[in-house]
Structure 1
């Protein structure tokens, strides 16, 4: 220890900055980061930390000014915070930096390697750019060309992630290329469906991404696959209104497509409508409990319940069901994969 007090290294200061970030004390974290940069102005970790802190503080211009040609993370963040073509510009800047960094690395497709992780980040960014042209920028004259360009790049990056195939399916559906969309969805499912959820580096998509996947599977009439994904989502978390809505909607669609002239088909149709009603009723309850603001979802759920009542008649709640509702019991769902076979 010096006579002037304790001597801190850049590493020490960055540790303190991270502690402050974890405690949401971003102004304090900024002081530590600035001190570290005063000691080593070109320290990459210090630059990255300072940029991340300034983004949290809303200092977007300042974050870009910190080594604009170094550190892709800030551009990914800015892309997420921006809209339309401005977001595209930020994402493209980040992708360019990541591609340059990846090119300088020795290829290593070992799961979890730095090369592997960076490749996944590039793919995610390219999918985000494609999604922007599918939605907010869909009326741009080169929207379709840009989608093909970004997905073409993503498909060249090993390993190809499920998200790339899912985004590709969305593009193919927008082009009314149904069979190509189905092929892309099947390819994506083949990557992660049998993955070990306990594996730190599994490629199982995020919960919200899988919800979007279910919608695509229903749109392409891939019902068995939709129920497989839905059952996994419900097992993971059965307290999400959107999941229960999609489970009910999937059952309703399948019931509607059955031939009601055959007695056995009518029985199976009614069973699926009962499953749909159970899930949709649970969806309505959760919608109110969670304070959801998705009014179109609630409206469609209520319309489906009304349609089901017209077919099956009013629902008769047993004493056991009433007691279970009062106790807040969990809802159990049958395995639709087995039922549909």
Structure 2
């Protein structure tokens, strides 16, 4: 079952302190051990953090902060069973009152095996977060009072709560669209959840991607396409590693949706940033190959398109000097169907190697790549050869 990424642990973790040593067996201060555990968690040293937290719990079995951190450390370290055991002890009947913050519920939702259980935990967490966000909105968003550092901290906490809320709401939508898609109330619940997410953060890429997916499932294709195009336009022309670009998973999802709407060039534009930022990304290589394959099919069915520049490129040329425009036009000469297939084969061959090297778990991708490569081989397609380095007359190396 699809799960959203791990919830960020409540509270900041100092990152500048030196690594902690093993907890001593003598008399120790639980507060000091907790501080060291926070540092280790910030350094992703989960194994050693667990040892410190176990020591705190030996000394103070009812220390709820240590119990929660132990659960987080176990989950992040890969032991879901032990992590859940710790976090469940934060809930009644193990304690008189349930946690007043969302973090334990988010972690429990992410590790739930039953979709209804996951929805229950997500619902509790999002209700808390939405209430906090609403209270802060009423007080005045970004209100500058008191010390500037305090105001900045409040804004950072508010942004984090917004991020956690929309991530949880999107995760709930994914559950209703996958595990519970045949339930009678699935569509109504998805519409309700996306409305809540949009009211919190209408420009969030994950929220807009979820909206597009919902509209696609409702066969409201033009509305879905409008959302996808607007998302692409927000990213258009941005270079790889631009901090404005969404995280890779969101861009991969956008690329898939662009391909569903036959926007091959736009998908390839987004995929180029993914491939440059992470050349070992299996799905990025797969989608690049698939997009090029689809582009070749489109050009064969629409020969006139083979001599037309990408409308996006044409738009970028407007207002430039004529000579520069001609130079850019030459650089953006559309590929022929044969060139697209050749480039597709290169990407798919690379994907197949990455898939095997990484023991990738998505059998759907592996099967489709093998099918496409077999078809391209039967067609006699040769993979494109990367441009090689040439030496100039002085012996210096220049890229071809």
TM-score, normalising length: structure 2:
0.67
2:195 aligned with 1:146: no
- State which of 340, 348, 351 in structure 2 corresponds to 1:272: 340
1:18–1:37 CA distance, 2 compared to 1 (3 A):
farther
Runs of at least 5 residues in structure 2 that lack an aligned partner in the other structure:
1-25, 143-151, 308-334, 389-398
Query: How far 1:19 moved relative to its partner?
Result: 4.6
2:271 aligned with 1:244: no
SS at structure 1 position matched to 2:210? helix
- Equivalent residue number for residue 230 of structure 2: 187
1:294–1:33 CA distance, 2 compared to 1 (3 A):
same
2:55 aligned with 1:31: yes
Structure 1, 277-286 or 95-104: larger mean CA deviation: 95-104
Conserved? CA contact 2:355–2:366, under 8 Å: yes
- Equivalent residue number for residue 232 of structure 1: 273
- State which of 141, 145, 148 in structure 2 corresponds to 1:108: 141
TM-score, normalising length: structure 1:
0.77
Segments of 4+ moved more than 6 angstroms: 194-199
- Equivalent residue number for residue 324 of structure 1: none
- Equivalent residue number for residue 74 of structure 1: 104
Aligned residues: 309
Conserved? CA contact 1:277–1:308, under 8 Å: yes
1:238–1:211 CA distance, 2 compared to 1 (3 A):
same
CA–CA distance in 2 between the matches of 1:306 and 1:161? Answer: 40
CA–CA distance in 2 between the matches of 1:47 and 1:64? Answer: 11
Conserved? CA contact 1:64–1:74, under 8 Å: no
- Equivalent residue number for residue 363 of structure 2: 295
1:9–1:308 CA distance, 2 compared to 1 (3 A):
closer
Indicate the RMSD between aligned Cα atoms, in angstroms.
3.4
CA–CA distance in 2 between the matches of 1:116 and 1:164? Answer: 15
- Equivalent residue number for residue 376 of structure 2: 308
Query: How far 1:137 moved relative to its partner?
Result: 0.8
CA–CA distance in 2 between the matches of 1:140 and 1:69? Answer: 31
Query: How far 1:204 moved relative to its partner?
Result: 3.6
Runs of at least 5 residues in structure 1 that lack an aligned partner in the other structure:
322-331, 333-341
SS at structure 1 position matched to 2:34? helix
Structure 1, 115-124 or 72-81: larger mean CA deviation: 115-124
